Amino acid sequence: MSEYLENFINTKFRKSSKALDLGAGDFCDVKNLEKLGWECEGVDLEMGIDLEKPYISKNKPFDLVYSNYVLQRIKNKKIFAKTIYDNLKNDGWFFIHTFEKNDPVIASGMTKDFLQELLEKKGFKNIEMKIFDHYDKGHKHWHKILEASGRK
């Protein structure tokens, strides 16, 4: 599990809860959360789930909906924000990592202002945003990461 997601969970949750991973990829985060006692669901295009379209889990609502490095690939970001919102329980948390516009490697990153406005328009509250540099050890280069979190 990413150190950032783990830190977020340790800060915001006192006990294991229920989470949805949008764009689960290799399901690494899902597997690690399950080891910690979380009830998790992960969805990905490989499973036939197109996140360009609204997705509503039959297991909703979730205490946490998160997505790591998927948002920058989504064309319809409003639909993606709606998917997060519609799968969260009231006062549930979201956590997003994506690439910032000035990332030196990924050209499809976004600005903090754009993401803030998108999330506010959807109705999220207590939105926190930060931008930071992260060294990708596997690919041996730096990224500029945009992190967003907040509540429904």
Spatial separation of the C-alpha atoms in residues 7 and 61, rounded to whole Å:
22
The residues of the chain scoring below 70 in pLDDT are none
pLDDT reported for residue 20 = 98
Please report the pLDDT score of residue 71 as a whole number: 94
* pTM for this predicted structure: 0.95
What pLDDT, on a 0 to 100 scale, did the predictor assign at position 2? 87
Give strand pairing partners of 33: none
Mean pLDDT of the chain: 95
Task: Check residue 147 and give its pLDDT.
Answer: 98
| Coil vs helix vs strand at 21 | strand
Strands 141-151 and 125-136, by their bridges, are antiparallel
Nearest residue to 145 (alpha-carbon basis) of 134, 135, 137: 134
Structure tokens at 72: 């920058």
Do 58 and 94 form a contact (C-beta atoms < 8 A)?
Answer: no
Separation of alpha carbons 70 and 1, rounded Å: 16
Which three-class secondary structure state does DSSP give residue 85?
Answer: helix
pLDDT tens digits along 74-103 = 999 999 999 999 999 999 999 999 999 999
- State the residue range of the domain holding 46: 3-151
Contacts of 148 (CB under 8 A, 6+ apart): 94, 95, 96, 98, 115, 116, 119, 127, 128, 129
Domain count, the chain: 1
Comparing CA positions, the residue from 4, 150, 10, 1 lying closest to residue 81 is 150
Provide the 3-class DSSP secondary structure of residue 58: coil
Q: Looking at residue 113, which CATH number applies to its domain?
A: 3.40.50.150
